[in-house]
Amino acid sequence: MSLFLKRTLWLSLLIVVQTTGCGSVREGGTEPAGKSNSGNTGKTVATDGASGTSETSNTDKPTVEMTGKITINGSSTVYPVSQAMGEEFMNLHKGVDVSVGESGTGPGLKLFAEGKLDIADASRPIKPAEVEACKAANVEFIELKVAIDGLSVVVNPENDWCKALTVAQLKALWSPDSKIKKWKELNDAWPDVAIDLYGADHASGTFDYFTEAIVGKSKSSRTDYTPSTDDNVLVKGVSGNKFSLGYFGYAYYAENKSKLKVVSIAAGEDIAAAVAPTEETILSGTYKPLSRPLYIYVNKASLKNVQVAEFVKYYLNDGQAWVKTVRYVQLPATDLDAARKTLSDALAN
């Protein structure tokens, strides 16, 4: 055997030994020794909420590099959560494109029932008619609670008279047959000046929830107010008008505390018992009747796409940190475990 050939064989053997020592070779690439690689993130993630078991996952690269799109639309209230998670998921997985819209819960669920979305954001539970629309189009889905919100009634910071309201006062103000036009008509000690009202658009899940909780019937509301599905428009309206009053999700109030003043709400007639929305009162349920869960609805067919399945896993595990970051309230452990189990069962089937 020639000296050149001997040297070539020796060099090849050396390369093989060095490569083998660097880590185990898996489908899609080489995984560094000491790391597990599930395609989620690098924190400890509970994978079975019911049993409490956990596994670690790797933030660097998934075992199989993911590509493809994830399409989300619906609630403007849930939008900040899905948007934050979508951006971070794209940072973790460069080949995935997550598109998040905020057309409102109703329009989002309509698109979902037409098979045009992977995930629908919703600030209220899906309605029977919407379930039937999904069935008619053979769209099977799972419902997952993802966070808790406290609908917040707000006024302008220059408003120094309205610190609290009862549910009865809110009902008198927002009912479809309401005759209340001025602050003084809510309380004799308040200014004899018109109230400028701002609130959710009729297509919004927030509108459905607020009218049911306050007026007593979903979609039952006065119409002479400024509506919008964009909560930032409502924030701008209330913050720019001393005599205004509006309502929207807690995150939009928490993000704009310097521009707004929140109103405490009394469930009964005792105004002294009024409670302001905070993370603690929303989670405990003492802020009532305006504390509510937030949802995502996931098309089961979409879960066959690895990028969608991994994104929803992320949403219920490491991504939950974003719920607090965008100023909503994280689910109790029991609710989060239940959501994880629902997802796990859907993936197993």
- Domains in the chain, please, with CATH? 44-148+294-348 (3.40.190.10), 152-289 (3.40.190.10)
**Distance between alpha carbon 313 and the CA centroid of its chain, in Å?**
14
List per-block mean pLDDT (blocks of 10 residues) for the chain, which spans 349 residues. 39 38 32 32 33 36 75 96 97 96 96 98 97 98 97 98 98 97 97 98 94 96 96 96 97 95 97 96 95 97 97 97 93 96 96
Instruction: In whole angstroms, give the CA distance from residue 153 to residue 199.
Output: 9
Specify the pLDDT at position 140: 98
Specify the pLDDT at position 349: 86
Instruction: Give the contacts of 197 (CB within 8 A, at least 6 positions apart).
Output: 173, 174, 222, 224, 225, 226, 244, 245, 246
Strand-pairing partners, residue 246, are 154, 198
Residue 109: count of CB within 10 angstroms of its CB? 29
Strand-pairing partners, residue 175, are none
What digits encode the pLDDT tens for the residues 142-153?
999 999 999 999
* DSSP result, 3-61: HHHHHHHHHHHHHHHHHHHHEEEETTEEEETT----SS-SSEEEEETTTTEEEE--SS-
Specify the pLDDT at position 194: 98
Specify the pLDDT at position 35: 29
**Tokens encoding 235:** 């924030």
Specify the pLDDT at position 30: 30
Specify the pLDDT at position 64: 58
pTM of the model: 0.77
Three-class secondary structure of residue 145 per DSSP: strand
User: At residue 246, what are phi and psi to the nearest 5 degrees?
Assistant: -150, 180
